[in-house]
Amino acid sequence: MRYAAPPLGDLRWRAPVEPKRTDTVEKANQFGPICLRAGAGAPFPGQDEDCLYVNVWAPANATEKSKLPVWVFIGGGGYNALTNANWNGSEVVEKSRHNIVMLDFNYRVGMWGFLASQKVKNDGDLNVGLLDQRMLLTWVKKHISAFGGDPDHVVIHGASAGAGSVAMHLLAYGGRNDNLFVGAMSESLFFPAQPYVNELEYQFDRLTQQVGCLSVEPEEQLACLRNQDVISLQAANHAQHFPGHEGPLLPIFYWTPCVDGDFLQDLPYRLMRRGQFLNVPILFGTNTDEGSVFAHNSLTPSDFTNFFTTNYPRLTRSDVASIISLYPQLPPLPNRNPWYPTTSLAYGEATFICPSNNFLDAFVSSSFSSFNLSNQGKAKSKKAFAYRFNVHDHALQTAGLGVPHLFDAAAIFGPDNISGFGAGEESSYKTYNKPVVSMFMAYWISFVRTLDPNMFSEKGSPQWEGWDSHVHGDDDKSRKRLLVELGNTRMGKVGDGESDRCRFWEALGDRLEQLGRGS
């Protein structure tokens, strides 16, 4: 179903608007196309610029009076692609005993969702991919009761860039509560560079040059882009070096959200430090080897540092030296170069694991901040739950990938309902890892229903304790998370080494999120 009008022509790089009303019956029995991705050239089959569709899975007997909890899933893809906006939510609805409504949807990505320039801000909108998501949440508030859902009990959930989006909605408008959701779940929180608008003018200039719009008057360049055909624009929708960088490596994520001064009012780490985000119950977690599918197969320490400065160009020479000191060479892996394991660990922690840990720390502390005292009433710490997913798949272990990014997704939705690691007929979740699925899925369903993963957990599952129920600050002993392992799931504490490294990345947070050149 459409949740917004087709973002075509003059609606390119503008906030989404409501679709036109119709008095005819619209067919909604097939998935809509997926939004255009970066790096694909011409649109792939099944992709289209007209892509703002939502899928709803609801119990067949649900009515407007059912008031069922609502699970809204935001897909990932590094803000440059949508891995798949059409995952199947029917199994989680069934396993909830028909006690939830499930949604997933498309939002604009790559150049279409995150082109940034003062010119765009003057005659359009920035971060329209995030504004698409906000529009979807508004659509849910308005319409979900027709499917049996409770518009006042919506829980958002994102994976990778979708998890980063969850964080953005918690930080949105400086932590303003628009009453769009009551809880938030994050798989592998993704924090790439998310810079200021003036640091991204080069992307607009490159795009106008590549599609022949540079020769028109500056105030007409955006209109020129809006008049270009999809094929021409898609040809320019790909990664390029950040300014001042060259060499064989390109940044993994070229298009990203930016600080627009409105939806995202400052660098995310700065907002986190000030406690400027919504105080609702959260469930955040990561996989053990988050960096393994992204890391460069580094041969030398120089390869390792080049990979980091390619993706985080604001890092200084001193920063790089500190990173090398903090991440010494690890034991080798089969069929990999000597510095690959270290590159994988460092990138995984910098970009996924530590943003999640640091957000959890900031979240707990924010309940006691002056901001939340003044903006959200009497201080009351909302529950924060954390997990580390450490379920081993034999084929992934042999490939040297460990427990990779989003390997937990198939355990949440079921291996037949998603794409990616752990999915499909040969999935280990259908054989030796099968017990993990029912246990882990039940925790997530329980959180959606009650904002507590324990209320409807599988019988015999361990009690999932909060990240930090009593103490806030720098007490490492309070950082507790559910360690998910086959046959041995239990509560555990974050190790001192990981805590120290996450403090290091938090201190570097501002430079990681900017693109200005270091020294």
Known catalytic residues? 160
Is residue 482 classed as helix, strand or coil in its secondary structure? Answer: strand
Place of tokens 């009008």: 5
Question: Smallest Cα–Cα separation from 119: which of 226, 201, 194, 195?
Answer: 201
Q: Is the dihedral of CA 154, 454, 466, 90 positive or negative?
A: negative
Amino acid code (one letter) for 164: G
Local structure of residue 337 (DSSP, 8 states): -
Contact 218, 276 (CB under 8 A): no
How far, in Å, CA of 218 to CA of 412, rounded?
48
- For the CA atoms of 172, 173, 175, 177, the dihedral, rounded to the nearest 10 degrees, stands at -90
Beta bridge pairs of residue 389: 287, 484
Question: Smallest Cα–Cα separation from 359: which of 483, 493, 468?
Answer: 468
How far, in Å, CA of 330 to CA of 315, rounded?
22
Which H or E run includes 341?
helix 340-348
Using a 10 angstrom Cβ sphere, with 0-12 exposed, 13-18 middle and 19 or more buried, the burial of residue 152 is: middle
Residue count of the chain: 519
Residues 6+ apart with CB under 8 A from 17: 4, 5, 11
Is residue 259 classed as helix, strand or coil in its secondary structure? Answer: strand
How far, in Å, CA of 468 to CA of 363, rounded?
10
Region at 203 (left for phi over 0; alpha for psi -120 to 50; beta for the rest):
alpha
Residues 6+ apart with CB under 8 A from 306: 247, 249, 296
Quote the tokens at residue 351.
């970009």
